[in-house]
Chains A and B, each alone.
Chain A
Amino acid sequence: MNGTKPKKVYFYGTCLVDLFFPDAGMAGIQLLRRAGVEVIFPEGQTCCGQPAFNCGYWEEARDVARTQVALFPQDLPVILPSGSCAGMMKVHYPELFHGQPDEAKVQAFSARVYELTQFLVDVLDVRLQDLGEPVKVTWHSSCHAVRDLGLKGEPQALIGQLANVELAPLTREYECCGFGGTFAVRHPEISGAMVTDKIADATATGASVVLSTDGGCLMNVNGALEAKSSKLKVQHIAEFLWERTRAR
Chain B
Amino acid sequence: MHAENEVHFRDAAAKALLDPQLRANFRRAMDGLIAKRLAQFPDPRDLQDLRDLSTAIRSRSLLCLPELLEQLEANCAKNGIKVHWAETCEQANQLILGILQAKGAKTLVKGKSMVSEEMHLNAFLESKGIEALESDLGEYIIQLDGETPSHIIMPAIHKNKDQIARQFSQKIKDAKYTEDVDELTAMARKVLRQKFLDADAGLSGVNFAVAETGTLCLVENEGNGRMSTHVPPLHIAVMGLEKVVARLEDVAPLYAILTRSATGQAVSTYFNLITGPRGEGEKDGPQEVHLVILDNGRSRIYADPQLRATLRCIRCGACMNHCPVYTRVGGHAYEAVYPGPIGKILTPQMEGVGVRHDLIHGSSLCGACGEVCPVEIPIPEILVRLRREATHSDVGSNVAGKGTGRTATEDWAWHLWAGVLKRPALYRVATWFATRFGKALPARAPLIKNWTQFRTKPVPARRSLTERLRAEGVSHE
A interface, CB within 8 angstroms of B:
13, 15, 17-23, 25-26, 29, 38-47, 49, 51-61, 63-64, 66-67, 74, 95, 143-144, 147-148, 174-176, 178-197, 219-220, 222-224, 226-227
For B392, the closest partner residue in chain A by CB is A56
Q: Which of B384, B392, B421, B460 sits near A19, CB closer than 8 Å?
A: B460
For B389, the closest partner residue in chain A by CB is A56
Q: Which of A17, A57, A74, A220 sits near B465, CB closer than 8 Å?
A: A17
Q: Is the CB of A64 within 8 A of B421?
A: yes
A-contact 0/1 string along B439-471, CB 8 Å cutoff: 000000001001111111111110111101110
- The answer to whether the Cβ of B474 comes within 8 Å of any Cβ in the partner chain is yes
Q: Is the CB of B458 within 8 A of A20?
A: yes
- Give 5 nearest A-B pairs by CB, closest first: A180-B364, A223-B455, A56-B388, A192-B454, A176-B366
Q: For B459, what are the chain A residues with a Cβ–Cβ distance below 8 Å?
A: 20
- The answer to whether the Cβ of B371 comes within 8 Å of any Cβ in the partner chain is yes
- The answer to whether the Cβ of B268 comes within 8 Å of any Cβ in the partner chain is no
Contacts across chains A and B counted by CB atoms under 8 Å: 205
Instruction: Take A56-B387, A63-B422 as given contacts and tell me if A42 and B476 are in contact as well, using a CB distance cutoff of 8 Å.
Output: yes
Q: For A175, what are the chain B residues with a Cβ–Cβ distance below 8 Å?
A: 324, 366, 368
Instruction: Take A20-B460, A45-B466, A178-B364 as given contacts and tell me if A187 and B455 are in contact as well, using a CB distance cutoff of 8 Å.
Output: no
Q: Is the CB of B367 within 8 A of A144?
A: yes
Instruction: Take A17-B465, A20-B460, A43-B424 as given contacts and tell me if A143 and B368 are in contact as well, using a CB distance cutoff of 8 Å.
Output: yes
Q: Is the CB of A185 within 8 A of B434?
A: no
Q: Is the CB of A187 within 8 A of B421?
A: no
B316-375 interface (Cβ within 8 A of A) = 324-325, 328-329, 358, 361-368, 370-371
Instruction: Take A185-B451, A187-B361 as given contacts and tell me if A52 and B418 are in contact as well, using a CB distance cutoff of 8 Å.
Output: yes
Q: Which of B324, B414, B454 sits near A227, CB closer than 8 Å?
A: B454
Q: Is the CB of A185 within 8 A of B450?
A: yes
- The answer to whether the Cβ of B475 comes within 8 Å of any Cβ in the partner chain is yes
Interface of B, secondary structure class, is: helix
Q: For B366, what are the chain A residues with a Cβ–Cβ distance below 8 Å?
A: 143, 147, 175-176, 180
**How many whole Å from B216's CB to the nearest CB in chain A?**
36
Q: Is the CB of B461 within 8 A of A22?
A: yes
Q: For A55, what are the chain B residues with a Cβ–Cβ distance below 8 Å?
A: 361, 387, 391, 410, 414
Instruction: Take A183-B363, A186-B361, A190-B325 as given contacts and tell me if A18 and B466 are in contact as well, using a CB distance cutoff of 8 Å.
Output: yes
**How many whole Å from B222's CB to the nearest CB in chain A?**
32
Complex Cα gap A176–B435 (Å)? 29
- The answer to whether the Cβ of B69 comes within 8 Å of any Cβ in the partner chain is no
Q: For A47, what are the chain B residues with a Cβ–Cβ distance below 8 Å?
A: 421
Q: Is the CB of B465 within 8 A of A18?
A: yes
Q: For B71, what are the chain A residues with a Cβ–Cβ distance below 8 Å?
A: none
Q: Which of A46, A144, A188, A223 sits near B458, CB closer than 8 Å?
A: A223
Q: Is the CB of B424 within 8 A of A19?
A: no
Q: Is the CB of A42 within 8 A of B381?
A: no
Q: For B363, what are the chain A residues with a Cβ–Cβ distance below 8 Å?
A: 180, 183
- The answer to whether the Cβ of B191 comes within 8 Å of any Cβ in the partner chain is no
**How many whole Å from A27's CB to the nearest CB in chain B?**
11
Q: Is the CB of B474 within 8 A of A41?
A: yes
- The answer to whether the Cβ of B10 comes within 8 Å of any Cβ in the partner chain is yes
Q: Is the CB of A185 within 8 A of B447?
A: yes
Q: A46-B420, A57-B418 are in contact. List 16 more A-B contacts (CB 8 A).
A: A17-B465, A21-B461, A25-B469, A39-B475, A41-B469, A43-B466, A46-B422, A56-B392, A57-B391, A144-B367, A147-B367, A185-B451, A190-B17, A190-B362, A194-B364, A195-B455
Q: Which of B329, B387, B390, B438 sits near A190, CB closer than 8 Å?
A: B329
Interface of A, secondary structure class, is: helix
- The answer to whether the Cβ of B477 comes within 8 Å of any Cβ in the partner chain is yes
Q: Could you list 16 A-B pairs, sorted by A, with CB under 8 Å? A: A19-B435, A19-B460, A25-B465, A41-B469, A52-B418, A54-B365, A64-B421, A147-B367, A174-B368, A178-B324, A181-B364, A183-B361, A183-B365, A193-B328, A195-B454, A195-B455
**How many whole Å from B219's CB to the nearest CB in chain A?**
29
Q: Is the CB of B456 within 8 A of A226?
A: yes
B11-45 interface (Cβ within 8 A of A) = 13-14, 17
**How many whole Å from A197's CB to the nearest CB in chain B?**
8
Complex Cα gap A17–B366 (Å)? 20
Complex Cα gap A144–B366 (Å)? 7
Q: For A66, what are the chain B residues with a Cβ–Cβ distance below 8 Å?
A: 422
Complex Cα gap A54–B386 (Å)? 10
**How many whole Å from B396's CB to the nearest CB in chain A?**
11
For B18, the closest partner residue in chain A by CB is A189
Q: For A53, what are the chain B residues with a Cβ–Cβ distance below 8 Å?
A: 384
Complex Cα gap A192–B329 (Å)? 12
Q: Is the CB of B451 within 8 A of A143?
A: no
Complex Cα gap A13–B367 (Å)? 24
Complex Cα gap A11–B453 (Å)? 35
Q: Is the CB of A189 within 8 A of B10?
A: yes
Q: For B475, what are the chain A residues with a Cβ–Cβ distance below 8 Å?
A: 38-41
For A52, the closest partner residue in chain B by CB is B414
**How many whole Å from A62's CB to the nearest CB in chain B?**
9
Q: Is the CB of B415 within 8 A of A56?
A: no
Complex Cα gap A223–B465 (Å)? 21
Q: For B391, what are the chain A residues with a Cβ–Cβ distance below 8 Å?
A: 55-57
Q: For B470, what are the chain A residues with a Cβ–Cβ distance below 8 Å?
A: 43
Q: Is the CB of A26 within 8 A of B364?
A: no
Q: Is the CB of A19 within 8 A of B10?
A: no
Q: Is the CB of B364 within 8 A of A22?
A: no
Instruction: Take A40-B477, A186-B10 as given contacts and tell me if A13 and B465 are in contact as well, using a CB distance cutoff of 8 Å.
Output: yes
Q: For A20, what are the chain B residues with a Cβ–Cβ distance below 8 Å?
A: 458-461
Instruction: Take A19-B434, A22-B461, A22-B463 as given contacts and tell me if A29 and B474 are in contact as well, using a CB distance cutoff of 8 Å.
Output: yes
- The answer to whether the Cβ of B437 comes within 8 Å of any Cβ in the partner chain is no
Q: Which of A29, A38, A184 sits near B450, CB closer than 8 Å?
A: A184
- The answer to whether the Cβ of B85 comes within 8 Å of any Cβ in the partner chain is no
Q: For B213, what are the chain A residues with a Cβ–Cβ distance below 8 Å?
A: none
